[in-house]
Structures are given as C-alpha cells and as structure tokens.
Amino acid sequence: MRLRQRVQGTAERPRMAIYISNKHMYVQFIDDTAAHTLAAMSTLAAEGAAGCNLNTARVIGEQAAAAAAAKGISRVVVDRGGFRYHGRVRQIVESAVAAGLRISDAAPAAEEAK
C-alpha cells in the first residue's frame, strides 16, 4: 500500500508533508478533506536557512512549527513523502516536535509528569 493512501490529514490533524530536493526543503500542512494547504515553510522563505543540510533542516522544522502554531495547528500526522525517516527528514520532524507540534495522540511528557 502506498504511503499517501495510509496518511490522511484533516482540519483537526493536518498532514505535515515533507519534500527534500537537492537544493531546498519544503514543509506543508495540508487538510486533505478540503484539499487545502493551511501553512507552509521552505528554505526559500525561511530566515537563517542556507544550504540543504541538517542545521537547515532544524531551522525549517522550528519555523514550520511556528507557522503551524500561528494557524492554530498543534497536532499533525507526518507524511515523509517516500523519503526514509533518516537524516534531514528526521531532523525536521524532531525539531518541529521540540518546538511544540504533537505527532501522536499520547499526552506530552510534561503533562504526564504532573
């Protein structure tokens, strides 16, 4: 089964689609039920993003999480776009989670500790 057939975004939990080319990285938050992009970030628009390396992936993840938070998005489902969950893709997701996005239905660690 193809990845896109398993991963569907909704208005409450949009799909965080990641695409990495040879020169740039792109992250979009997509509501598949309405076929609408809710927020987006890329190395073309990000501040402090130069090149296509792990440091840039960290910056893109943080800024994508900030753009999602500005639109009221806190929970997402990750669409790695066929790329392995490794390197830049992993860095984007982990930095977005560190910046406040949730990718699972489990309660955040800070809430569990209380």
Predicted model pTM: 0.83
Q: Distance between CA 38 and CA 49 in Å, rounded?
A: 22
Q: Residue 66 belongs to what domain range?
A: 3-113
CATH number of domain containing 22 = 3.30.420.100
Confidence of residue 18 (pLDDT cuts 50, 70, 90): very high
What pLDDT is recorded for position 3?
Answer: 53
pLDDT one-digit tens code per residue, 41-94? 999 987 777 788 999 999 999 999 999 999 999 999 999 888 899 999 999 999
Domains in the chain, number: 1
Cα separations in angstroms, 100 against 65, 72, 108, 110: 7, 12, 9, 11
